[in-house]
Structure 1
Amino acid sequence: MKADKVPAVIAISALAAIFVPSISANVAEADNALYFHQLCALVSASKIAGDIPTAAQDPATAITELHELNFTTSPKEWRDKFKNAAATFDKEKVAAYFSLKPTDVNSNWQEAWQHWVAAFKQTGDPKTTPQHIKDAAHDSLAPHQKQAMHIETAKALALALNLQKQRLTVLSKANALTTQQIKDRLLKAAYGEKATEPVFETAKAFTGYDQTRKTTCADDKATSAAATLACLCIQDNGDAPPRPCGRNMPNTNKWNSASQQNLDTAAGDLLKACPSAEKKPITSNWLGQITTQVRNSIRIINNNGYLGETENGSCTGTAATGVCVKLNGYTNDPTTHKGKLKWLDDLESLTEQLRENEQATAQAALLANQIVAIRDTTYGLAATLRALTAPQPISVTAAQTTPQHPSAASLKTECEAHHASQADCDAKNFCTYDETESTDKKCKYNATKAKEKGVSVTQTQTGVGTETTTEICKGKPEKECKSSDCKLEGR
Structure 2
Amino acid sequence: MKTLTVASIWLLTIGAAANIDRGENRLEHAALCNLVALTDGTVDIPVVPPVDLTTCQYIQNLNFSAASQEWQDSFYKGDTGKVHDDAQPYHKAFKGHEIYWAGWKAAAAAAKEQTPEPAKKEAGVLALSAATRQHAKRRLQRVAEAAHKLCTASPALSPEQITLDGSKELTKIKAAVFGNPAKDRSSATTNEAFGATPGNARATACAADQANGKAKTVAALLSCICTKGAGTATAANPVCTDKTDGSTGWQEGTGPVPDTDLRAVLKTCASGKGQLITAQRLRAAVEAVRTLMTEDSGAGYLGKFKSTSCNGSSGNGVCVSFAAYGTGPADAFAKLGWPAQLTKLAEDMEDRKTAAAASAQSNAMLRQLADQARAVVDEAEEAAASQRDGTITNGKTKSNVKTAPCSAKTNTTCTRAGCKWEGTSETEGACKPKDREGQTVTEAAKETQCARHTGDRTACENDKTGDKQNCAWRKEKDKDPELENEMCRNGSL
Report the equivalent of 2:468.
none
Q: How many Å apart are 1:307 and its aligned residue? A: 0.6
Check whether the contact 2:299–2:321 (CA below 8 A) recurs between aligned residues: yes
Distance 2:155 2:105 in 1: 19
After TM superposition, give the deviation of residue 332 of structure 1 in Å. Answer: 5.0
Residue identity in the other structure for 2:40: K
How far apart, CA to CA, are the structure 2 residues paired with 1:247 and 1:105? 73
Are 1:200 and 2:191 counterparts?
A: no
1:232 to 225, 230, 234: 225
Q: Which amino acid aligns with 2:298?
A: N
Distance 1:184 1:60, change over 3 A: same
Give distance in 1, aligned partners of 2:168 and 2:105: 36
Alignment correspondent of 2:295: 300
Deviations 1:41-83 (A, max 9, x none): 2133233133511123531121121122222222345445546
Amino acid of the structure 2 residue aligned with 1:115: A
Paired residues, number: 363
The root-mean-square deviation of aligned C-alpha atoms, in Å, is: 3.5
Alignment of 1:217 onto 2:212: no
Match of 1:274 in 2: 269
Determine helix, strand or coil for the equivalent of 1:306: strand
Q: Which structure 2 residues correspond to residues 63-82 of structure 1 after superposition, within 5 A?
A: 63-81=56-74, 82=76
Q: Identify the residue that residue 319 of structure 2 maps to in structure 1.
A: 324
Q: Does 1:161 align with 2:120?
A: no
Counterpart amino acid of residue 34 in structure 1: L
The correspondence for 2:80, drawn from 64, 77, 84, is 84
The match for 1:185 is 172
User: How far is the alpha carbon of 1:37 from its aligned partner?
Assistant: 1.9
The 1:24–1:111 alpha-carbon spacing in structure 2 relative to 1, beyond 3 Å, is farther
C-alpha distance in 2 between matches for 1:47 and 1:362 = 28
Q: Give 1:298 shift.
A: 0.8
State the secondary structure of the residue aligned to 1:256.
strand
- Match for 2:285: what amino acid? I
Instruction: Name the CA distance, whole Å, in 2 between partners of 1:223 and 1:357.
Output: 29
Cα drift, residue 358 of structure 1: 2.4
Residue of structure 2 in register with 1:45 after alignment: 38
Q: What per-residue deviation string (whole Å, max 9, x for no partner) do you get for residues 371-425 of structure 1?
A: 2322233233345556757696599xxxxxxxxxxxxxxxxxxxxxxxxxxxxxx
Deviation string 1:127-179 (CA, Å, 9 cap, x unpaired) is 65243548xxx76x885554333322222221122123334445868515332
Change (3 A) 1:85 1:24: farther
| Aligned with residue 27 of structure 2, among 34, 38, 46 | 34
For the residue of structure 1 that corresponds to 2:97, the secondary structure is coil
Show the 5 A alignment for 1:237-316: 237=230, 240-249=235-244, 251-316=246-311
Partner of 2:12: none
Please name the residue that 2:7 is paired with: none
Structure 1 partner of 2:349: 354
8 Å Cα contact 1:309-1:323 kept in structure 2: yes
Tell me the amino acid that sits aligned with residue 109 of structure 2.
A
1:133 and 1:392 map into 2 onto residues whose CA distance is: 31
**2:53: which partner in 1?**
60
Q: Which residue of 1 aligns with 2:10?
A: none
Q: 1:169 to 1:304 in 2, by over 3 A?
A: closer
Tell me, what secondary structure is at the counterpart of 1:320? coil
Q: Compared with structure 1, are the counterparts of its residues 243 and 32 closer, same or farther at alpha carbon in structure 2 (3 Å cutoff)? A: same
TM-score for both structures, normalised by structure 2: 0.64
1:128–1:163 CA distance, 2 compared to 1 (3 A): closer
Cα distance, 1:180 vs. partner?
Answer: 3.8
The one-letter code of the counterpart of 2:188 is: F
Q: Is the 1:40–1:275 contact (alpha carbons within 8 Å) kept by the matching residues of 2?
A: yes
**What's the offset of the Cα at 1:290?**
1.5
Preserved CA contact (<8 Å) 1:217 1:324: yes
8 A Cα contact 1:205 1:226, kept in partner: yes
State the Cα distance separating 1:210 from its structure 2 match.
0.6
Relative to structure 1, is the Cα distance of residues 211 and 270 closer, same or farther in structure 2, using a 3 angstrom cutoff? same
Gaps of 5+ in 2: 1-15, 397-493
- The whole-number CA distance in structure 2 between the counterparts of 1:306 and 1:24 is 19
Structure-2 separation of matches of 1:385 and 1:171: 44
Matched, 1:107 2:98: yes
Picking from 361, 366, 369, the partner of 1:366 is 361
Q: CA deviation at 1:28?
A: 1.8
Q: In structure 2, what is the Cα distance between the partners aligned to 1:316 and 1:30?
A: 17
Residues 413-441 of structure 1 deviation map (CA, whole Å, 9 limit, x = unaligned): xxxxxxxxxxxxxxxxxxxxxxxxxxxxx
The 5-angstrom pairing of residues 363-402 of structure 1 reads 363-385=358-380, 393=394
Question: Secondary structure of the residue that 1:47 maps to in structure 2?
Answer: coil
Contact 1:171 1:361 in 2 (8 A): no
Is contact 1:38–1:290 with CA below 8 Å preserved after alignment?
A: yes
Q: 2:400: which partner in 1?
A: none
* Other-structure match for 2:339: 344
1:307 and 1:52, CA in 2 relative to 1: closer, same or farther beyond 3 A? same
Alignment check: 8 A CA contact 1:145 1:385 kept: yes
TM-score by length of 1: 0.64
Identity of aligned residues (%): 23
